[in-house]
Amino acid sequence: MEKEGTEMVEETEHMIVKNGAKDPQNAISASDSKEMRAVVLTGFGGLNKLKVTKKPMPEPQEGEVKIRVKACGLNFLDLMVRQGNIDNPPKTPLVPGFECSGIVESMGENASGFEIGDRVMAFVNYSAWAEVVCTPVDWVYKIPDEMTFPEAAAFCVNFVAAYMMLFEVANLREGMSVLVHSAGGGVGQAVTQLCATVPNVTIFGTASPFKHEAIRHYVTHLLDRNADYVAEVRKISPEGVDIVLDCLCGENTGKGLGLLKPLGTYILYGSSNMVTGETKSFFSFAKSWWQVEKVNPIKLYEENKVMAGFSLLSLLFKQGGCSQVKTAVQALLNLYNHKKIKPLVDSLWALEEVKEAMQRIHDRGNIGKLILDMEKSPTPLMANDSTETSEAGEEEEEQEGDNDNKERMPFIQ
């Protein structure tokens, strides 16, 4: 293990030199070991605010682990960050990204539990999209030998969110029913796989029709995302469902609460995959987000209902929930080791392809997770349909066209 880790680190350093040389406008005079490549958001806005550039090599502070990154997860929240479309946005320039996998390169003071060369996955409070990341030791987890780095980069945010929502907030048990939107997205895939670990769970999942064939075996009742999902669910299950996982918000809060059986739980979730591939534009999303109706607790009392909100990144980065998250990660790795769950990677992208990757999420093209792969070089295949669409986030009107017929990219894993 350690030997393999060391070799991989060397390979990666070699890549930096090579790629650095290809990018003269970002060249920095310091020696290569003092620098790394990273995606930088120069200001809030469209895709043109993203650049791949050299940054000073970070060193681990007290309690931190330094990781040589192999793969990073791309989440819908990253698109919102790019837009500055989040509560209390940080200052730009910044390096985006909340999760990565890689190899432990060194440890800061008072950081223990890892050896140099350990294969790990980690949460990062921004700055994940870089060749090297330093993050608190409590947010780092060893990964099984058979888990690939792209799988590991697809694991943390989506599976932990899905697990905590289903088993800690909603108390999923045998025989229950679950409605999940974007069943083909990162969280959607994690939700459906975790539901399958409980006997006799019925899953209602919305997705664009072109995804249905690919995800049919995960979902009991596949619904067209463009259809009236309330009516569709009622047709199949007049009494409603036990759990609604809502990443749409707005009027969907009322719809979701209305669909609950007695003692059912509605969860509004966001954090990472809030609306993966399921909003027509940022403008309409922001509108629905802020126009959500408030709920009277007495209504919940009269109807025996539960309304919850779940934000994994708030839990971890603002509320100190690292021990709760660690417990969930351990349970999930146990399920992975027993081959009950497996992250579904949609596609791998070079750092330089981050704009195309973001556009793919925006256009709802993905089935599973998009990964930035540090060892991948940009490919000419990138000059495809996704770059021809309007630039995500710069549009302010609803984009009426549907991308359901868009072909999936040729480099899908």
Q: Which residues bind a copy of itself (CB under 8 A)?
A: 87, 164, 168-169, 171, 249, 253, 262-263, 265, 268-270, 289-290, 292, 294-311, 314-315, 319-321, 324
- What minimum distance in Å lies between the beta carbon of 203 and a copy of itself? 21
- What minimum distance in Å lies between the beta carbon of 71 and a copy of itself? 27
Which residue is associated with the tokens 């930035």? 372
- What minimum distance in Å lies between the beta carbon of 90 and a copy of itself? 16
Task: Give, in order, the Cα–Cα distances in Å from 65 to each of 110, 278, 292, 325.
Answer: 10, 35, 40, 18
Torsion of CA 249, 251, 254, 255, to 10 degrees: -90
- What minimum distance in Å lies between the beta carbon of 328 and a copy of itself? 11
Mention every residue, 6+ apart, whose C-beta is less than 8 A from residue 48. Answer: 391
The secondary structure element, H or E, covering residue 345 is strand 345-349
- What minimum distance in Å lies between the beta carbon of 296 and a copy of itself? 5
- What minimum distance in Å lies between the beta carbon of 240 and a copy of itself? 11
Q: How far is CA 130 from the centre of its chain?
A: 16
Q: Which is nearer to a copy of itself, 39 or 325 (CB)?
A: 325
CA angle 316–100–37, rounded 5-degree value: 125
Q: Which is nearer to a copy of itself, 237 or 384 (CB)?
A: 237
- What minimum distance in Å lies between the beta carbon of 171 and a copy of itself? 5
3-state secondary structure labels for all residues of 228-279: CHHHHHHHHCCCCEEEEEECCCCHHHHHHHHHEEEEEEEEEECCCCCCCCCC
Q: How far is CA 128 from the centre of its chain?
A: 12
Q: Which is nearer to a copy of itself, 296 or 405 (CB)?
A: 296
Q: Which is nearer to a copy of itself, 15 or 86 (CB)?
A: 86
Q: Which is nearer to a copy of itself, 86 or 214 (CB)?
A: 86
Structure tokens at 103: 């190899």
DSSP letter at 34 equals G
Q: Which is nearer to a copy of itself, 15 or 306 (CB)?
A: 306
Beta bridge partners of 375: none
- The answer to whether 345 and 369 are in contact (CB under 8 A) is yes
- What minimum distance in Å lies between the beta carbon of 194 and a copy of itself? 16
Q: Which is nearer to a copy of itself, 208 or 271 (CB)?
A: 271
Task: Give, in order, the Cα–Cα distances in Å from 277 to each of 75, 322, 364.
Answer: 10, 28, 4
Q: Which is nearer to a copy of itself, 324 or 389 (CB)?
A: 324
